[in-house]
Amino acid sequence: MPRAALAGQSATDAGQNAEAPRLSRAGARFAATGANIGTSEVRPFLPNAPAYDKFPFGLWQTCANRQARHSFRAGMGYADPAGYAPLRRAIAEYLAMHRGDRCDPEQIVITPGGHTAFMIATLLLTDPGDGVLFEDPGPLIARKLFESLDRRIVSVPVDADGMDFEHVLQAVPPPRLVFAMPSRHHPLGRTLSLARRLRLMDWAQANAAWIIEDDYDSEFRYTGRPLPSMRSIDAPGRVLYVGTFSKALFPALRVGYFVLPPALVQVFRNAMALMFRSVPLETQMVLADFIAEGHFATHLRRMRDLYTQRRHDFIETAAEVSDGRFQIDSPDSGMNVITWLPEGVGERRIHAKAQTMGVHCYPLSDYCLQPYPRSALILGFTCVQPHLLRPGLQTLAQVIATEQRQV
């Protein structure tokens, strides 16, 4: 029996009391990150959370039962590390139809989610100390991942045309990797202009750098046609497209994928084989069926309609209850809104108070390396059930009003 259990302590208690273990440099960085481990508790206005209650559980279960009865028995050994071939074909068809991107299924490598893909790309394409071009503000977990892996963040601001990188392109040595969100930057929601996309790809080609295109929530666009991905115009072959099913379906699924330049496919397959062997085959089989039978496309259509309605209701209700205390940037895509706060009101205090009153949000400063000129909160609207919308926004307005009186 472990000594901790004998002493009536949990293993975690015992670990906290013990001397700090000797860790690698990366280990020490991971230990210090304090990364938000995630939550399955859905409260308004948890950012980036799909409408879990609208997931077609019955259809998913039907696909799962069928796979368990038939194909799964034939697939109990080690699977293809690049991913189940029918799933890769289904993803290639989906991308051609919805993202204007024709790729060969052989260029697709299935990963356990988007963040694992970012990690693999970092390990295979950069060395510790190498620069990663990254937006400020930019996604917190991805930044912590690069920092923990001992990569140097080369931060660039974001303006109306997306990441504003021109001034760092002459840096010596040049960044080896760019982390970009061309279709919808998180958290500001900007789109990278065509001129900048082309400039970035030319620069990457000239400097032997690579670009990760994180396209995690591009399925949800509420005005106009879907924007083509950056990879779809990547003539030089410098873009690694990363997709995920975390938002279109649900994060616990842990399925994401690369679309890789052909020259990188073999090394990424090898890395998947050594690090993960493969993503669980049964999950891939169920997902492949779910897509092939049209359930994925139907679910996406339904969620797009639902989120269009929820976005509309959010904006209308916020305008009614805010009494001018906060302003919403109405997003044309994605799952979140930026809520700008009145001058002088501290977003961290509002965030902390709102949390205690059951309102979930993230302060913009969590995403920032340099102080941002305005205070804001990031609020998710996609997971909010209609009866919780108005009370949630009223609570937020009340917290801001109280804070304003104290300024």
Give me the residues that bind ligand PLP (CB under 6 A), please: 48, 113-115, 139, 142, 186, 214, 216, 244, 246, 251, 256
User: DSSP string of 305-354?
Assistant: HHHHHHHHHHHHHHHHHHTTS-EEE--SBSSEEEEEPPTT--HHHHHHHH
Token pair recorded at residue 253: 């699924």
Q: How far apart are CA 49 and CA 336, in angstroms?
A: 9
Contact 287, 245 (CB under 8 A): yes
| DSSP letter, residue 51 | -
Closer CB to ligand PLP, residue 260 or residue 321?
260
Q: Closer to ligand PLP at the Cβ: 48 or 339?
A: 48
380 vs 67: CA distance, rounded Å: 35
Between residues 48 and 322, which has the closer beta carbon with respect to ligand PLP?
A: 48
Hey, how many other C-beta atoms are within 10 angstroms of the C-beta on 299? 21
Query: With b meaning 16 or more CB within 10 Å and e meaning fewer, what string describes 38-52?
Result: eeeebbbbbbbbbbe
When the beta carbons of 14 and 275 are compared against ligand PLP, the nearer one is 275
**Cα–Cα distance between 180 and 212 in angstroms, integer?**
6
Compute the least distance from the CB of residue 119 to ligand PLP, in Å. Answer: 10
Bridge partners of 363? Answer: 377
Question: What is the enclosing helix (H) or strand (E) of 110?
Answer: strand 108-111
| 64 phi and psi angles, rounded to 5 deg | -65, -45
Q: Which is nearer to ligand PLP, 103 or 142 (CB)?
A: 142
Q: Tell me whether residue 197 or residue 254 sits nearer to ligand PLP (CB atom).
A: 254
Enumerate residues 6+ apart whose C-beta is below 8 A from 210.
121, 125, 176, 177, 178, 204, 238, 239, 240
In whole angstroms, how close is the CB of 172 to ligand PLP at the nearest point?
Answer: 29
- Beta pairing partners, 379: 337
Q: CB of residue 246 vs ligand PLP: minimum separation in angstroms?
A: 3
In the complex, the smallest distance separating the C-beta of residue 256 from ligand PLP, rounded to whole angstroms, is 4
| Residue number with CB closer to ligand PLP (111 or 375) | 111
Is the CB of 83 or the CB of 174 nearer to ligand PLP?
83
- Give me the least distance between CB of 59 and ligand PLP, in Å please: 22
Q: How far is the CB of 113 from ligand PLP (least distance, A)?
A: 3
Say if residue 172 is exposed, middle or buried (CB neighbours under 10 Å; 0-12, 13-18, 19+). Answer: exposed
Find the shortest distance in angstroms from Cβ 138 to ligand PLP. 8
Rg (CA), the chain: 22
Residue (114 or 189) nearer to ligand PLP, CB: 114
- Shortest CB 203 distance to ligand PLP, Å: 22
In the bound state with ligand PLP, the residue whose beta carbon lies nearer, of 105 and 380, is: 380
Q: How far is the CB of 149 from ligand PLP (least distance, A)?
A: 15
> End-to-end CA distance of the chain, in Å?
56
The runs of H, that is alpha helices, within 70-192 are: 71-74, 85-98, 114-125, 140-148
Quote the Cα angle for 378-217-60, to 5°.
115
Task: Using the Cα atoms of residue 73, residue 74, residue 79 and residue 80 in order, give the sign of their dihedral.
Answer: negative
Question: Smallest distance from the beta carbon of 181 to ligand PLP, in angstroms?
Answer: 7
Q: How far is the CB of 148 from ligand PLP (least distance, A)?
A: 15
Question: How many degrees, rounded to 5, is the angle at CA 256 between CA 308 and CA 196?
Answer: 70
Could you tell me the two tokens for 41?
Answer: 């508790």
105 or 113, CB closer to ligand PLP? 113
